[in-house]
Amino acid sequence: MNENYYINQINHLRAIIDGFENKDNNIYNIMNETIDETFWVADLDLKFNFISASIKKILGYSYDELANKSIEDYLVDGSADELKKKLENEIRYIKKNPDKNQDYFERLILCFKHKTKDINVWCEVKIRFLLNDKLEPVSILGTAKDITEQKLIEETLYKNFDMDNKELLQELEKTKKELEETKKELEELKNK
C-alpha cells in the first residue's frame, strides 16, 4: 500500500460523510449530535486534512475553521510540546517496529483552547500513524474526546486529598506534642 491508498481512503471516507450531510434525514448530523468523540486525520506537520463536525461541540470550531490548520495552534502551551515529543518517539518506535502500529493507539491527555468560551478543554486523544507501502508514517489518524468534567473532578479530589492530608498532618503534629508532654510528665514523675 502506498500513500495514494491512504489518500483515497480518506477521500472515500469524506465522500461517505458528504453523502450523509446531503441526505434529508441527515444521519451525519444525528451522529455528530450524539457522538461525544471527534475523529481526524492530520499530516506529519500536524495540519488537519480532515476533522469530523463533532469538533464544534467540543471546541466550538467548525470544520472549515480547522481545515489545513495546525493542531498546535489550538493547544495550550505545554500540550503542544507534549504532543510533538510523543509523536517523535512514536515515529522512532514505528521505524524500528512497523508491524506494531496496526493495532496500537497511543493515548494522550491534551489541553485545547475553546473558540468562544474562556476555558481550556481537556481531551483524551488517541493517535495512530497511517503508513505507506514502505511502512513509513505518512499521516496521523486520531480521535479526541472531551474529558474536561472528569479532569475537574480529579482536580477537586486531589485538592480534597491534599486538604485531608493537611488535616491529618495537623492531627499527627498535635498527637506528637501530646506524646512529648506525656513523656515529660512521666520523666518528672520518675524523678520525684
CA separation for the pair 28, 26 (Å, rounded): 5
Q: What is the pLDDT of residues 126-142, one digit of tens each?
A: 988 888 888 788 889 99
Beta strands in 5-150 (DSSP E): 37-43, 48-51, 106-113, 120-131, 137-146
The pLDDT value recorded for residue 111 is 92
Beta strands in 5-136 (DSSP E): 37-43, 48-51, 106-113, 120-131
Report angle CA 69, 49, 56 to the nearest 5 degrees: 65
The pLDDT value recorded for residue 89 is 84
Reduced to 3 states, what is the DSSP secondary structure of residue 105?
coil
The pLDDT value recorded for residue 159 is 74
The pLDDT value recorded for residue 125 is 92
Describe the crossing of helices 3-22 and 27-34 by its angle, rounded to 10 degrees.
100
Low-confidence ranges of the chain (pLDDT < 50): 1
